[in-house]
Amino acid sequence: MMSVNDPAVLAEITALFARYEQALGGNDINALNAMFWPSDLALRYGAGENLYGFAAISGFRAARAGGSPPRTLRNTVITTFGRDLATTNTEFLRVGTERIGRQSQTWVRMTEGWRIVAAHVSFMAATS
């Protein structure tokens, strides 16, 4: 039977999620790139772009002046499945706006360590 939220695995991913957030806020492009799977199969759907493959993801980061605007997180949910798969989901508010953003990541333990294989960032519409 698969273990969900094994405490040791959950602690690993929770620490990596915090490291990702720190790198995002500090525009640490090297750290952000190191967290993504360096594969043509990696993807990141951003608020205004669809990025297919590590080259596109890292190129987007390099071209983005100043990095991500400051934000606060809320309603973060981290779930692990077995020892090698995890999802992280959070809502965020950028400083100076009330618009709710959402971020999801799928993490897989690779030979070289945990990597994000898919990510999605979007903003909620005013109405649905």
Render pLDDT for 2-57 as a digit per residue (tens, 0 to 9): 999 999 999 999 999 999 999 999 999 999 999 999 999 999 999 999 999 999 99
Q: Please report the pLDDT score of residue 77 as a whole number.
A: 98
The better pLDDT of the pair 102, 70 is held by 102
pLDDT-above-90 percentage for the chain: 84
Q: How many CB atoms lie within 10 A of CB 65?
A: 5
Residue 128 has pLDDT above 70, yes or no: no
The better pLDDT of the pair 98, 114 is held by 114
- Average pLDDT of the segment spanning 97-104: 93
- Average pLDDT of the segment spanning 60-81: 92
Residue 1 has pLDDT above 80, yes or no: yes
DSSP string, 21-50: HHHHHTT-HHHHHHHB--STT-EEE-SS-E
Q: How many CB atoms lie within 10 A of CB 104?
A: 15
Sign of CA dihedral 63, 23, 71, 110: positive
Q: How far apart are CA 110 and CA 41, in angstroms?
A: 14
Q: Please report the pLDDT score of residue 83 as a whole number.
A: 97
